[in-house]
Copies of this chain bind each other. A is one copy, B any other.
């Protein structure tokens, strides 16, 4: 993995989070499943927005959060995603660039605005996401900078990209380019609903040997394997990918590579303020370690450090200097 310009290039939906407090009664009245992510169209986005409370806006999107995390470790990170030429798009670009992430995908004017996810936070801290993909679902294969992919030690893709057809093809093309250049391909299953929607497509990617590093949480790996038992699910999937990483919240995480298996405990945290971005930041830490040739155990530890930082404050992007937090591990 020498002669690379970037450690990790992430590809995903460029989404601005629009976050408002709400009540359980509101979720019920709206018929929303707490803690889920659903995709909505422009009309529903407009309607829901008019019903929800005052909001704050922060840049989000899983792959964007992961890229910001890699950069906070001192890694060289890039992001590919589609924004529109509007204020939300400018805001999104600013935030990634200011975080030290290379983001060169040009804005695209196809008459729809930059994606936003309306996130409703109940008093118990759960977040229910309503995502209008807007411009993000128009990421064309032609927007990929293939040299940028070849220049990256690893690319990282989110399962959510599979939802709309256009970025799905861009994602498949990115995997081809990376594999031809013998770069690593990492993939996250995103969430159980996403697996449910795209089980066949995900199985084709994984069974076809096109994924080197697979990220999942416990519920996701069990759903993918079709068994409600962690070890059985891990055994069923581990042989299909070079590296498998399974996060388990406060129970830590595990990773396998061939016959090797490593575990890491969760890092101690003070108060859990907001769990959004925990998985994205775990992936950031692990991928930073992985792309720098660290051991499985070291990479898991880097993931745990990043996840612990991000859940101790609001927002899904790191606020602390993760490189400093990781000390020698990040050297």
Contacts and interface: CB of A to CB of B under 8 A. Distances in A.
Interface of A: 20-21, 49-50, 52-59, 68, 86-88, 91, 94-96, 98-99, 113, 315, 317, 319
A86 B113 CA distance: 11
Rank and list the top 6 A-B pairs by shortest CB-CB distance, nearest first: A54-B95, A57-B57, A87-B87, A56-B58, A54-B98, A53-B98
Given A21-B319, A87-B88, A113-B87, A54 B50 contact: no
Is the contact region of chain A dominated by helix, strand, or loop, or is it mixed? mixed
Nearest to A91: B57
18 contacts: A20-B98, A50-B94, A54-B59, A54-B68, A54-B94, A54-B95, A54-B99, A54-B317, A55-B95, A56-B56, A56-B57, A56-B58, A57-B57, A57-B91, A86-B86, A86-B87, A87-B87, A87-B88
Contacts of A95: 54-55
A59 B53 CA distance: 12
Contacts of A315: 56
A289 B80 CA distance: 53
Nearest to A314: B314
Nearest to A84: B87
A96 to B, nearest CB: 8
Contacts of A87: 86-88, 113
B55 A94 contact: yes
Given A54-B68, A86-B87, 17 more contacts: A20-B98, A49-B94, A53-B98, A54-B94, A54-B95, A54-B96, A54-B98, A55-B91, A55-B94, A55-B98, A56-B56, A56-B57, A56-B315, A57-B57, A57-B58, A57-B91, A87-B113
A77 to B, nearest CB: 13
Nearest to A21: B319
A317 B57 CA distance: 15
A47 B53 CA distance: 32
Contacts of A94: 49-50, 54-55
A21 B318 CA distance: 12
Contacts of A86: 86-87
A22 B57 CA distance: 19
Contacts of A56: 56-58, 315
Contacts of A55: 91, 94-95, 98
A59 B56 CA distance: 8
Contacts of A57: 56-58, 91
Contacts of A317: 54
A308 B94 CA distance: 34
A54 B21 CA distance: 22
Nearest to A86: B87
A99 B53 CA distance: 7
A317 B55 CA distance: 11
A298 B166 CA distance: 61
A57 B18 CA distance: 9
A214 to B, nearest CB: 29
A315 B315 CA distance: 15
